[in-house]
Structure formats: structure tokens, C-alpha cells
Structure 1
Amino acid sequence: MKIAFFVNDMEREYPNFATTVLAWQARQRGHQVYYVTPEDWLLDTDDSLHAHVREVPKGKSKDHGAFFKLLCSKETKRKNIDMADVDVLMLRNDPSTDVKDKPWAAESGILFGREAVKRGVMVLNDPDSLSRAVNKLYFQSFPRQVRAETIITRNAKDIKEFAEKHDGHIILKPLQGSGGSGVFKVDKKNASNLNQMIEAISRDGYVIAQEYVDAAKEGDIRLFMLNGQPLCIGKKYCALRRRQGDDDIRSNIHAGGKAEAVEISDTELKVAEIIRPKLIADGMFLVGIDIVGDKILEVNVFSPGNLHSCSEMNGVDFSEPIIDAVERKVRIKEEFAVDFDNRHMAVI
């Protein structure tokens, strides 16, 4: 199998990133691994789709850390390949990372992912559905019963009325963005700064105002979903609890949050079951959902992180069932290529 991983850029990749772990697992099994960035695409004169990839030498590495060193070394060569020869393209970039400084790059994975599908490549997650998920408005398409009450607006009066409805306790965040960037918790202590918070976010677009869920005091639970189902090995779920850092409402690990092991209860499984049909309908192969109580606060369909941390805490390697699922899809596609489109193949 030839598998390509599309990322924002190589400088922002790290040894413990989920993409690294998945690429390492694929290479350990003898598959050819490529890395692609937004600068690498080439749509040629004959309408063939090429990419100037980083081709990781075949072989094995003792762990994903050693694999990452090889990836960044001179042994990993640049090569122009015809994407029609690639079996799988995994879109692992975060469009919001590029939207300000490199707007041309933000949706390049989606655009060229669609072109790859036309040329017979299986693209995960499905690029057509990802195009509808480039901002948090996609979140509003999930069943209302698992969403915290939310409004999206640029009107300060709307937000103030919403805050009053919720006794002054709300969360404000930008419609576009990720990683906890630009997130504010409004309460009675800082209500006098509400105008400044609204201005800071609305300067770049729409504002999401969301009711504050009391269970958020305990942090959120990041749960991975694979083929629309909670990812697990035996009775161990690919999940962790992310607690807020000191003096910071954000539970994102890189924003100061702390990761802890967590037991997945019937509450989280019920939430996962409610959103399962939507994930399947949209061809979302690998997703990270953030759960607080019986609500989901976010659905990360682009580059869900913490896969390595979940594996370490559970004493298993969750990259194995993910690559197992990819291999299975490739086998099915080889036998029944004409029977499934990319969106269905992504979650079969």
C-alpha cells in the first residue's frame, strides 16, 4: 500500500503527533509512506495530478521517535509522484492554522483531495464533507440534544442578551479557529470586559456564544471515533480527560491543559451513538470529539490529536486498529471499486 499524509508544513510536525504515529505504524507494516504539504501539488498539462512528496525510505524504526528523525533527515528524499499511483491520501492538516498567513494553503488539501478522488485515490476523511467543516458552523449540524445552546453572530446586543439568558455564564470563541485560540469564559467577575472580548473575536469574523456547561470545571473528554464508532481495543477506549491549566479555561494540551486517564461511561457512549449517523453520512473516518457531561463541545474532523497520549495511558497502541481499517478499505476497494464512492468507502 502507498499512503500519503497531507500536513500543514514539515516545520510544525512533531514526534508525538498523531500523524507521526500513524505514518510510523504504516511503515512498520511495509507500506510506502509519503508526506505532502500545500506547496507540493502539481496539476500537469495532461490533467494528471502529481505531488512533490517526501518519500520515507522503506524499512522499520524502533519507535515513532526514530521514525520522525528519519523523516526529517537527508535520507528522506523529495520525489515527484503521480497521485494516481497512491492508494490512500490522509488529510491531516488544520485549515485554520493557515487561514491568516497563508490563505491560499488553507483549503488546498480539500481542493486537491477532491482531484485525487477523481483519479482513484481513497481520501480520508472525505474531502467534500471536510469542505463543509472548515469552520465551527459544521458543529451546528449535529443533533441538538448533544449540543450546548449556542448562537453565532457579530452583533454585540445578541451576545449580551444571550449572556443574560444564561445568568452571565457563557463561552465566547471565533467561528474559525482551533486549539483553543481566542476562547473566553464570561462570568460575573469579568462581565465588564464583555465588549472588549466581543471586539477581539469579531475583528476576524463571527462570534460563537455558547452556554457554559458546569461539567466543564472537570475538563473535557477527548474521544476518538473510527468509522463512526468509539475507537477501542478490547475494553480500552482511545480517550483521555483534558483538565484546564491554572488560570486558563482551555483544556487543550498545548494551551496548558493536563491530560489524565479516563473511564468511558454510558454517558459518553450515548453521545457517541447519537452523533454516529452524522459521521457515517459524511464519510468521517477518524474524528476526535470533545465531550463535557452529556454534550459535545467540538468535533475535530481534520487533525485530532492526543492519539499517542491515549495509547500511553491505556498501555495499547491505538494506531494499529486505525491502520488495520485503512488496509481493509484498500482491499475492499480493489475488489469492489465500482460499488462505493469515496464518502461511503471512508467509513465502510
Structure 2
Amino acid sequence: MDLLFIADPLESFKIKKDSTLAMMRVAQEAGHQLWFCQSRNLLWKDNLVVADCQSLLIKPSSKSWFDLGEVQSKALNSFSAVQMRTDPPFDIEYLNSTWLLSAAKIQGAKVFNDPTAVRNHSEKLSITEFPELIPPTLVTRELSAVEEFHRAHTDIVIKPLDGMGGMGVFRVGPDGLNLASIVETLGENGARTLMAQRFLPEIAQGDKRVLLIGGEVVPFALARIPQGKEIRGNLAAGGKGVAMPLSAEEKRIAQKLAPILNQRGLFLVGLDLIGGYLTEINVTSPTCFVEITDQSSFDVPQFWLKALERTLS
């Protein structure tokens, strides 16, 4: 198969733990041809969606781990599959890329995740479709609504809808210290919508990343455990990643959502769970493949490749 990966610059990859690189390695080892481009290299040209892309060879050396061929202009529908792995934030240019990918899909390209489904699933807001699974949650631009929510729940977390890696996440305790200032700053004085949730003390045991691939559940989660006085478990915020088997409650939630999301074209999903509550549904470029594989008996990249091959067969 010819597999196109649309991703961030290869030089930016953290080669010891990058999930996209893990996908590339296992696909190459299985004999598939790899191609690479950035989202900026997508074009509508001569009535086709094309990519100015390069063939990609992954090498064993960590110092010089890839070779790229000459730039070629190839229609997206000429690839066996297109993997959209550009990291968030989901800004206007990410949105433009999904529109081009939707046009490519109309022309017969097989895009993972489905670009329409990605647009329809805000990684923060999509949890509201499953209110029985989420903690008490408020979405608003109004300071007064956040203040009322804080009075009701006393200990809350506030975050922007377009954050990633724990960026912009604040906890406001019972004293309400700096609540108005946090809301005004994060919300740019009412210009941006925020999410507030009841603080979940179970975060001390980890913010669990649960992977759904091809409608199936990976049986191990990565618990991202806050360190020191930090409340954020995100690895980008210094959290410690510990792989562990899914609890019965985590498995129940994952098995409920996996077929629903896969049927919509969300082939690879990363659920975030804290204390048995669903807090996010990540659909842009879910990670943690390497950490789970290294710390458990489960080979996530192989599981992903086999699911992809089944889907394309």
C-alpha cells in the first residue's frame, strides 16, 4: 500500500515516543510505501486535490532517522490511505485542510480520520453528546454563569475550548481566588467560550488516555499522573505516564463509544477519562502509542496497522 502521512515537520518529532513515527515504522516494516507532506502542501490543482509530497524512508539511526525523496505532485485519491496527523490547535488553517480533505474524499481518497467527522467533533465539546458519562460541566462566555457554577460546585477547573496539552487549564478552589481574573483573561473579556467542570480529585490517580482503533478498544490505558503540586496530568505539562489495564468502568465507557465513533469515520480516537468520567474525545492526532506499548504486553502500532489493513481490504 501507498500511505500518505500529513504531519508536522519531521524534524519536530520526538523520535523516542512519537505515535506518528511508530505508525510509520510498523507500516514500513510490513512492506508498505510511505509518503510525507505537511498540511501546507495540500492543493486544489487541475480539478483534483493533490499533495506536493515526498517518499519517506525510516532509518534505524536516531541521529538521521529519515530520508526523503524528490517532491512529487500526487492526487490524494491515488494513495491507499491518507493519514491526517497534524497536531492541534484546530485553527482556521486546520479547518481549511479538512475542507480540502473532504473534497479529496469525494474524489475517492480514503482519509483517516474522516475530515467531516473531525470537524463535527470538537475535542472538548463533543463530550456533551454523552451527558450521562461526563462530570458536571458548563460551557459559556459569561462570567456570571461561571460564578454561579463555582458556587454550586465550590472546586472547579476552567479551560479554553481550543487548548491542548493542558494549556490554559486553571483550578479555582472553594475560596474563589482569582476566579473573575481567570475567566476574563482566558475568555478575553467574553470574546471566547470557556468550559468549566467540577474538579475531580481522582486526577491524582491519573488522567487516563484510552485508545479506540477501528471500533475496537485498546485494553491498556496510559494514566498521565500529575507531579508535585501540578493538577494537570498531561505529559506536555510534566505528567508521568503509566500504562495500566482498563478498569471495568473505563472498559464500559470505551466499549460504548467505540462503535458509535468508528461508524462516523473516526478510526482513531483518544478518550480522556478521570475517575470514570469522560472529559475529552480526541480525534485530531491521538497519541500514547509508544508509552503503552513499551510498558505493557500490547503492541499498539501493530494493532493500528492490522485494523487499517482490514478497513482497506
TM-score range, shorter chain: over 0.9
For the 8 Å contact 1:56–1:77, the answer to whether it is kept is no
Separation in 2, partners of 1:248, 1:201: 19
Aligned to 1:304, the other structure's residue is in SS state coil
For the 8 Å contact 1:244–1:257, the answer to whether it is kept is yes
Separation in 2, partners of 1:242, 1:328: 31
TM-aligned CA distance change 1:302 to 1:155, over 3 Å: same
Aligned to 1:261, the other structure's residue is in SS state strand
TM-score by length of 1: 0.83
Matched with 1:215 is 202
Instruction: Specify which structure has the higher proportion of strand.
Output: 2
AA aligned opposite 1:219 = G
Q: Which residue, 293, 298, 301 being the options, matches 1:319?
A: 301
Matched with 2:271 is 289
Matched, 1:278 2:260: yes
Aligned to 1:208, the other structure's residue is in SS state strand
Matched, 1:81 2:81: no
Displacement, 1:315?
4.0
Matched with 1:234 is none
Separation in 2, partners of 1:162, 1:195: 13
Separation in 1, partners of 2:296, 2:259: 27
1:29-86 deviations in whole A, cap 9, x for unaligned? Answer: 11111122122012112x12211113114xx744xx65x8333x4x443322222211
Aligned to 1:69, the other structure's residue is in SS state coil
Alignment of 1:193-208 (within 5 A): 193-203=178-188, 205-208=192-195
For the 8 Å contact 2:124–2:279, the answer to whether it is kept is no
Aligned to 1:302, the other structure's residue is in SS state coil
Separation in 1, partners of 2:150, 2:282: 26
Over 6 Å off, 4+ runs: none
Instruction: Specify which structure has the higher proportion of helix.
Output: 1
AA aligned opposite 1:4 = L
Aligned residues, how many?
A: 310
TM-aligned CA distance change 1:77 to 1:317, over 3 Å: farther
Q: Which residue, 124, 147, 150 being the options, matches 2:137?
A: 150
For the 8 Å contact 1:56–1:70, the answer to whether it is kept is no
Alignment of 1:143-182 (within 5 A): 143-166=130-153, 168-182=154-168
AA aligned opposite 1:211 = R
Aligned to 1:77, the other structure's residue is in SS state coil
Matched, 1:132 2:132: no
Displacement, 1:114?
0.8
AA aligned opposite 1:318 = V
1:79-136 deviations in whole A, cap 9, x for unaligned? Answer: 2222221110111123416x3xxx4x22233112112212212111111111112452
Aligned to 2:54, the other structure's residue is in SS state strand
Alignment of 1:92-103 (within 5 A): 92-96=85-89, 99=91, 103=92
For the 8 Å contact 2:123–2:283, the answer to whether it is kept is no
For the 8 Å contact 1:40–1:53, the answer to whether it is kept is yes
Alignment of 1:1-348 (within 5 A): 1-15=1-15, 16-45=17-46, 47-57=47-57, 61-62=59-60, 66=62, 69-71=64-66, 73=67, 75-96=68-89, 99=91, 103=92, 105-134=93-122, 136-141=124-129, 143-166=130-153, 168-188=154-174, 191-203=176-188, 205-231=192-218, 237-331=219-313
Aligned to 2:223, the other structure's residue is in SS state strand
AA aligned opposite 1:78 = V
Aligned to 1:262, the other structure's residue is in SS state strand
Aligned to 2:3, the other structure's residue is in SS state strand
Instruction: List gaps (5 residues or longer) in structure 1.
Output: 232-236, 332-348
Aligned to 2:164, the other structure's residue is in SS state coil
TM-aligned CA distance change 1:153 to 1:11, over 3 Å: farther
Displacement, 1:277?
4.3
TM-aligned CA distance change 1:298 to 1:134, over 3 Å: closer
Displacement, 1:243?
0.4
Q: Percent identity?
A: 25
Instruction: List gaps (5 residues or longer) in structure 2.
Output: none
Displacement, 1:4?
0.9
Separation in 2, partners of 1:30, 1:296: 38
Aligned to 1:296, the other structure's residue is in SS state strand
TM-aligned CA distance change 1:250 to 1:77, over 3 Å: farther
Aligned to 2:117, the other structure's residue is in SS state helix
Separation in 2, partners of 1:301, 1:272: 14
